[in-house]
Structure 1
Amino acid sequence: MIVDLAVPVVAAPMAGGPTTPELVAAVNGAGGLGFLAAGYRSATATAEQIAAVRKLTDRPFGVNLFVPGEPGDAAAVDAYRERLRPEAEQWGVALPERSGPDRDDWEAKIALLTADPVPVVSYTFGLPTPDEAAALRAAGSFQIGTVTTPAEALAALAAGMDALCVQGPEAGGHRGTHRTEDEPGTTPLLDLLAEIRRVTDLPLIAAGGIGDGRTLAAALRAGAAAVQLGTAYLRTDESGASATHRAALTRAAGPQGRGELREIGSDAAAPTASRSGDRTVVTRAFTGRPARALRNAFTDRHSPYAPAAYPEVHHLTQPLRAAAAKRADATAMHLWAGTAHRLARTGPAAELTRELWEQAQREG
């Protein structure tokens, strides 16, 4: 499935709105592989998105699932709530006092994808059980596990995955660590690919910090069968990213919306920046899981205090983030972005996909 792509580019499943059926179909139409993001969606809403994609394209596409984890420390979440309360009161926002168990409709989504299979299913934050993986395999789905370490790669191999998405520290949005409490590694993507290649011969998809043909070609030369792009598509015509998110990427990139060419991993481990908004930071402040975002006032205020509790922190901060989005306040929103965000540009997603592949071919 991955090695047969005409264009070895995968559109990352970006949960929360940026990924749309139109974006999936556009990347498919250019010869790549589009992915729906089922995270934060019910099984019913996921089925609706699948139906929408099928109306737009007859090419293979994927669906990504968030694997539920263990509950977080309730006392730590309570303490973080009290820290956020003055801010909530300032904006007239009511914070949820408790977050009950949340499995992201996991069982219903597995049942949906078993009964109505899609060509590809991928997993973030962990792996399915052996029975779940076997059921989807029997249904005919190609399965991809997201991994951030060789140990996670070995677990995915044991779980029967058909390919691995190797996510480096340069990636925007959530790191796909299999345990919420794990601190994500800082091994640059190209080195991480080499480490994981030593423990498995499964096809590898390289993800993180890829925003131009040169870095795409470098990942393929390092042994990847394909690359996965997320931030690169945030400003495209088919993206569902908000105007505020798009504008923040543009401001971070400078007056022309573009920036200097950086090596993969050049600022992968940088936790701070000299000027708010001009660099990215890995933070738990918004969701309780490590995620790379544009640095802003919210990350500066709360990153040191956010507990490793997901999805409890996600639900806790959701009203604050929604209020910030409504008032277009980029200083308080979660603005996911990878280290190559300065290279994100506008235009049709299919055109971007083809251009990046043409550039990569010229690079050899």
Structure 2
Amino acid sequence: MATATALAGGLTLGGGLPAALAAPHPAPRQSGRPRPRVLGHDLSTLQQLEDVGKHFSDHGRVLPAEQIVAHHGATFIRERLWVQPPIPYNDLPHILTMAHRIKAAGLHFLLDFHYSDFWADPSHQTTPQSWQGQDLATLAQTVYDYTRSVLGALARQGTLPEMVQTGNEVTAGMLWPQGQIYVNGTERWPQFATLLKAAIAAVRDTSRSIEVMVHIDRGGDNAGSRYFFDHILAQGVDFDVIGLSYYPWWHGPLSALQANLNDLAPRYGKDLVVVETAYPWTLTDGDSEPNIVNAQTPLLPGYPPTPEGQLAYIRTVRAIVEGVPQGRGRGLVYWESAWIPGVGWEPGAGDAWDNMTLFDRQGRALPSIRCYQ
């Protein structure tokens, strides 16, 4: 594509998009600026659960879930953002409300832009309906403007995130088809990088204090992780933190996670966060929706599907991250700690994650809530 070639070659885009997209400029790091440790929980379904009457408690005391996890050592809350979702949640109004709650609980905020109307992952990176049909340059401008708009709204209420993910599990690209990497036997890294740079430029232009994470799903795959980050760095992508998903039944044993993290940190000189992980506390099902992890799922030897096994798993992952060379292991985020039965993963469906939470089916904190203490 002529447009993609021009962008990759360093031409300035029209329409007000910063020239920074064509000429990467690593953000100057402030010497001595503290880097908060990431001991996080993704609570993206919390508001939806609360609206159907679910509540959470710790030793009999009913409290908002973010306050419970803060009491038990959490430092970050992660929230996903969809553009125009099919359900009225994980949209900007709900993010604005949740950002206030996160800050009120004394926690840091990690904002996860999906750049989609619904779930984005390595198999699904659907361009929002209202953005479809745009050429690459126009779509890059749209990504920049949207990202600036969201962060501007958060800035106006004094709740800017400390860290931003510019895309969710973008292993195979984002905003398909324009930003899809692997197409008919070819690899389209310049096109993907154009969109990723647009998102990052919007974060940088909002505030240099916000750390930018690029997130893929290759927690136990060192070769795959190297391949991805080598390529985006070759395209001049400027970011701060490597984010990885790690679920052992998909991504291999703990030894593979450890080997990958220990290689990536010195190779790239960047901090790493296991930004998604989880483990079952039971193999029973809390509703009619079949669980993703069940009796047929290969679990880790020595980590039974009990609250104690779950706690041991999280503490082991934390120890692996904290042992990363050069102090580059920043932490981890437990994915959907509070997704108890009550709402589903899509309209009309049930909860396929109810045995992976850190709360029981009545919203009572499990012993594994102490994972960060």
Compute the TM-score of the two structures, normalised by the length of structure 2.
0.47
> Over alpha carbons, which structure has the higher Rg?
2
